[in-house]
Amino acid sequence: MKEASGVYILNPPANPVHDVDLEERKTIAAFTRALENTNLEKVVVQSTYSAQEGDHIGDLGSLYLLEEKVKEIYPEAMIVRAAFYMSNWDLALNEIVEKGCLTTIYPSHSIIPMVAPRDIADYLTGLVESGKAGIHYVEGPQRYTVQDVATAFQTALGKPVKLVEVKREDIENYYLSLSFSKSSAMSFAAMALKTISGDWPPLNKIERGKITLQQYIEKLCLKVVPVK
């Protein structure tokens, strides 16, 4: 990194069978050490909507910590807080195809701002060129609900898709059923509840991407539905 003029920092998710909070903070500490004694022109940090100070709240806490640690070294860093990745629904495809249902920890009509990874990449390209420091919010062309996700899959696959909602009090046990450690399940459940609360940036503060949820889901479903 001594010869680099800029860096893009994306904190990799820790394996939830371990303690995600502990493991991700180890990675953040490594990033911080790597940035020390560097002289970079541009530093971009990938973060998330609702990033906030706190422990045991999943990525919301760890990515906020990453933001703060980077800004201590590079106050003019560019922080990109992205909405919920549409790609998070990729893992639901098998269940939908095999069982005709979509299991969700979010209520069907909760607003969940979403964005396609491609839109994030396109926005990052322009941001690096402008070099505008500070926090930037990016999401898709409109806001969606989990019901919209089910409807998008139903349209793309041409078959009914039933939503199976996990009750709030059962979210931690749901994560435990996926082989998460106890600490990770607690952390992800807390993050889910904060997401459900809907503390989103105001609409006049966000940048809009172009890829709709339906477009993203239809492309995803091409893996199982051949092009006509």
Residue 117 lies in a domain: yes
Q: Which amino acid is at 50?
A: S
Residue 226 lies in a domain: no
Backbone angles phi, psi at 80, to 5 degrees: -105, 110
Bridge partners (DSSP) listed for residue 78: 44, 134
Residue 1 lies in a domain: no
Query: How confident is the prediction along the chain (228 residues), in pLDDT tens digits per residue?
Result: 556 789 999 999 999 999 999 999 999 999 999 999 899 999 999 999 999 999 999 999 999 999 999 999 999 999 999 999 999 999 999 999 999 999 999 999 999 999 999 999 999 999 998 889 999 999 999 999 999 999 999 999 999 999 999 999 999 999 999 999 999 999 999 999 999 988 899 899 999 999 999 999 999 999 876 544
Residue 205 lies in a domain: yes
Helices (DSSP H) in the chain: which residue ranges? 20-35, 59-73, 93-99, 117-130, 146-157, 171-177, 182-197, 213-221
**With helix as H, strand as E and coil as C, how does 107-125 read?**
CCCCEECEECHHHHHHHHH
Q: Residue 68 maps to which CATH number?
A: 3.40.50.720
Residue 227 lies in a domain: no
Residue 96 lies in a domain: yes
- Residue 164 three-state SS: strand
Q: How many domains would you assign to the chain?
A: 1
Containing structural domain, residue 102 = 6-221
Supply angle C-alpha 177, 181, 183, rounded to 5.
120
